[in-house]
Structure 1
Amino acid sequence: MGTRGLLAAAVSLVVAVAVAPAATAVPEAATSPDPNLTVTSVTLGRAAVAVSGLNTVAVPVTVVGGYKTTEPGTVFLNVFLDRTGGTGPARYMVAALLGLVSGTVQSGTWKGSLYVPSTANGTFKVTGVMEGTIIDGSTGSMTTPTPFAGPSIAVTGLHLPRIGVSIIPKVVPFGSAYTARVAITDSATGKPYGSRINVQITWDNLCVEHDGDRYLTNTAGIAERVYPAAAADALNCVRLRGRAFDTAGLGWSVSRPGIVGATLSRTSVPVGTIVPVNGTVAGAPSKCAVVLQRLTGATAWRGVSQDVVRQSGRFTVLAQPPYVGNVIYRVYFPTCGRFQAGYSKSFVIRGT
C-alpha cells in the first residue's frame, strides 16, 4: 500500500515518529501509470479557498479524458494534488470518485469535488489522475497515478486541529496493556472545538491502510483507547479522517523500560584477567549501547567496557579486576530511543 504522510505536532509522554497515516489507492508494488488512462485537462472550480477548524470546503473538479476498457461497470477517476508551499500538516489531497457526466468512458467528462480541510493550509497543485473505485484502501491496481501538471489551489487554513497523545502508564511494562488518551484541540486557541469528533485510534498496518478502530471524542475533544500488550512494539497512531485522505494524524512509539540482565563467566580470577560478562536487554533494542561500570570509592561508577545490543538482545562486555579483593560492577543501559535507561544488579568479581 502506498502512502503519503501527515504529521501533527509531537507531544509529551510518547516518542513521536514519522508516520504516514493516510491511505491512498497507490499500492506499494505499483510500477507505472495506467496505460489505459488518457488525461486531456483537469479544472478546479476555485483557485483559492479559506477553511476553518474541522470544516471542509467542497471545490468542484472536472477531468476531461478517456479510459480504454471493455470491462462492464462504472469508471471513476481520482485526482491527486501535492503540496507545493505552505505549512499545514496535510501533504496531499485527493478529489475522489469523480463520475462520468457526459460523453463516453473512452472520451468523456468526469466531475466531482475536492473536500479541502483547514490542515491543507498552503498551496497544492494537481499532479496526477488515477482510475479506481477505492481510495481509502488498496484497489489491487499495479499502477500509479498518471502524471498531469494541472492547476493549483491556495488554501488559507484557520484554527487548525492539533492532536496530542498521552500514554498511561508513561513507560509501558513488557506484557502489559496500556491506554492512549487522545486530545484534539484548536491550535490557535488551545481549547477544544466543543463538538464530538470521529477519530481512528489504531496500530500497525491500520495506520496506513483501510478503516477501523473508530472512536468518538467527548465534547472536550478527548477519546481513549486501551491497547493490547502486543501493540506496544508496533507503530501506534491516531488519524483524523477525511473523505478520501486523512486531514491530520500522529504516530508514536510506546516508551519501554530498560531492563538489563548480566551473567558472569567467572567470579574469581587473577588480577588483570579479562572476564567476559554476557547479558541481555529486554525488548532487544539493537544497536543501542551498554556500558560496564566499576564502582570506585563509595558511590562513583566508572565506565570500563562498552558494547552494543545485538538483534537477539544480547551483549558482551569485558571486566578486568585491577586489584586484589572484591571488585563491584554493574551494566548500565543509557536511554536509547523509546527505551529508558536501566541498570543490571551489581555483581562482584574477586581479584586474586
Structure 2
Amino acid sequence: MLVDVTVSPDAVSVAGVDLVPVTVSAHLTDDTGVVPSTEMDGTMVPSVALRLVGSDRADGAELSLTAGTPQDGTWSATIQVPSTWNGTWEVSRLVAVDAAANRLDVDPPASADTTLVVTGTHRPAVTMRLSPDPLVGDGPLTVEGRFYYEDTGEGIGNQPIFFGSDNACWELRSEPNGTTRADGTFSRLYPKGDPFVRCVGIVRPSNTAVAPDYIVVRTLHPRVKPIVAVKANRTTVTPGTTVTFTGMVKPAASWQLQLQQLQGRTWRKVAGTSSNDLGAYRMAVTPKTPGTLRYRVVIPNQDPALVGVSEVVTVRVSTPGGEPRPDGGGGGGGGTAGGGTGGLPITGAATAPLVAGGAALMIVGAGLMLLARRRRPTQTPNGR
C-alpha cells in the first residue's frame, strides 16, 4: 500500500552544467514486506517515474529502503537535477512488489507533495553531424559538433562528454570517454562505420542500473548506402538446375535483400532474404527455360540515394548439346554420319548447299553412265 509520496525540495534553480540534488520518497506498507525485484527489462523496483507536465518527456529512479522496515518503511532516491529539466515535473507512476509476489502499480494523485518545479538557466545544448553523409559501405565515419549555452551561444570548453554507439547510448551506466575542445567543439573518428545510432552527451549520475542519464544528449542515425557483393555458384546451367547466389553486405548488419531478374526492361523481384548480423546472405532460383538471364541483388530504400545494388550476374541456361533438332534428335559428339544418334546434327544454315551438291553429283553420274554405254564393245560368246 502506498501511504504517500514526497519530493524534497519541491522547487530548485539550476544553471549551466551544475546539478542540484532532489530526493523522492515513497512510504510503503505491506504485511509480507516490500522487496527489491528485477523487472523483465532489467530495471529494479520499487521505482518511481517523473513526467514533465505538458509533454511526453519522462525520467525515473529506482528506490531503496532508507528508513523503517520492508513492512512499513520509506523508500527513496536522490536525483541529480540538471538545468535542462526546466519546467514542472510530477511523480507519474510508482511500482513495487512484495514478498508474496503481489504487485503495486499506481499513478499517485497530483499534489504539492508530488511535484517539482525546476528553473533552469544558461542551459547547455549540442549540435551533431555525421560525415560522410551518406556513409558508403563500412568506411570511416566521423561524429562532430559543438556543445554551447542556449542563451549566449558560448561554447562549453574542456567539458567531459560521452560518445556512444547503438545500445551503449541507452543501456548501462556511462562514463565520459571524451572532452570538448576549448571552443566547445568535438569530433570522433570511427574507423569502420555502421548503420547504428550514434550519440554524444554530457552525462550525470544515473538513478537506474541499466541506463545512463544525461544533462544534454543528441543522437543521430547515419544515412547508409550499403555495398552489396554477389556471386553465383554456377553461371552455365541446364533448365531445372538451382543457381545459388551468395555474398556479403557492408556495413555488416541484418539487411532486407531482394534478388531481381531483368525481364524485358524491368528488374523484378524473384527471391528475398535477410542477411545475418555479419552481413552474409544466400538466395537461390531454379531457371526453367533456356535463355540468357541477368540477376542482381538489391537493398531497397525509400531514398534512392541509399539503395544498395550489386553488380549484374549473367546466367546462361541451355539444353545439353545445344538446341534440339526439329525432328527431336539431339546434338552429340563422336560417331559417323549416318550412324544414328552418333551422327553430327544438321543445322538449317548448311542444308541448302548439301542438297544442291547432291543433285549436281547425281546429274554428273547419269551422264557418265550414258557415255560408257555408247563406247562399250560387242562381246562374243568366247569373250572376244
Q: What's the counterpart of residue 44 of structure 1?
A: 7
Any gaps of 5 or more consecutive residues in structure 1?
1-37, 70-76, 131-141
Q: Residues 79, 194 of structure 1: CA spacing in aligned structure 2 closer, same or farther, 3 A cutoff?
A: same
1:241 and 1:97 map into 2 onto residues whose CA distance is: 22
Letter matched to residue 215 of structure 1: G
Q: Residues 281-309 of structure 1: CA distance to partner in whole angstroms, max 9, x if unpaired?
A: 4256546131414285xxxx521333322
Query: Structure 1 residues 157 and 144, CA, compared in 2 at 3 Å: closer, same or farther?
Result: farther
2:49 matched to 1:115? no
Q: 1:280 to 1:58 in 2, by over 3 A?
A: same
- Residues 153 and 294 of structure 1, relative CA distance in 2, 3 Å threshold: same
Q: Read off the aligned partner of 1:308 and give its amino acid letter.
A: G
Aligned to 1:289: 257
**1:246-277 Cα distance to aligned partner (Å, 9 max, x none):** 1343455554623231315343657xx78645
Query: Higher strand share goes to which structure?
Result: 1
Q: Judging changes above 3 Å, is the alpha-carbon distance between structure 1 residues 155 and 180 closer, same or farther for their aligned structure 2 residues?
A: same
Correspondence 1:186-265 to 2 at 5 A: 186=149, 191-203=153-165, 206-207=168-169, 208-227=171-190, 229=192, 232=194, 236-245=198-207, 246-247=213-214, 248-252=216-220, 255=224, 257-263=226-232, 265=234
What is the CA distance between 1:80 and its match in structure 2?
3.4
> CA distance change for structure 1 residues 321 and 62 in 2, over 3 Å: closer, same or farther?
closer
Q: What is the match of residue 17 of structure 2?
A: 54
Question: Aligned in 2, Cα 1:212/1:56: closer, same or farther, shift over 3 Å?
Answer: closer
Could you say which structure has the larger radius of gyration?
2
Give the secondary-structure state (helix, strand or coil) at the position aligned to 1:348: strand
SS in 2 for 1:218: coil
With over 3 angstroms needed to count, the CA separation of the structure-2 counterparts of 1:196 and 1:86, relative to structure 1, is farther
Aligned partner (choices 220, 231, 236) of residue 267 of structure 1: 236
Q: Which has the higher contact order (CA 8 A, sep 6+)?
A: 1
Whichever structure has more helix as a proportion of its residues is 2
Query: Following the alignment from structure 2 to structure 1, what is the Cα–Cα distance between the partners of residues 64 and 175?
Result: 21
Give me the TM-score of the superposition, normalised by structure 1. Answer: 0.57
Deviation at 1:83, TM superposition (A): 1.0
Offset of residue 46 of structure 1: 4.7
**Aligned equivalent of 1:4:** none
Percentage identity across aligned positions? 20
Count of aligned residue pairs for this structure pair: 284
Q: Could you tell me the TM-score, scaled by structure 2's length?
A: 0.53
Q: Show the 5 A alignment for 1:1-352.
A: 40-49=3-12, 51=14, 53-59=16-22, 80-83=48-51, 85-87=53-55, 91-94=58-61, 114-120=79-85, 121-125=87-91, 127-128=93-94, 149=108, 151-155=114-118, 161-170=124-133, 171=135, 173-174=137-138, 178-186=141-149, 191-203=153-165, 206-207=168-169, 208-227=171-190, 229=192, 232=194, 236-245=198-207, 246-247=213-214, 248-252=216-220, 255=224, 257-263=226-232, 265-267=234-236, 276-282=243-249, 285-286=253-254, 288-294=256-262, 296=264, 302-312=266-276, 313-316=280-283, 318=285, 326=292, 328-335=294-301, 340-350=306-316
How far off its partner does 1:116 sit? 2.4
* Kept after mapping to 1: 8 A contact 2:227/2:310: no
- Aligned-residue CA RMSD in angstroms? 5.0
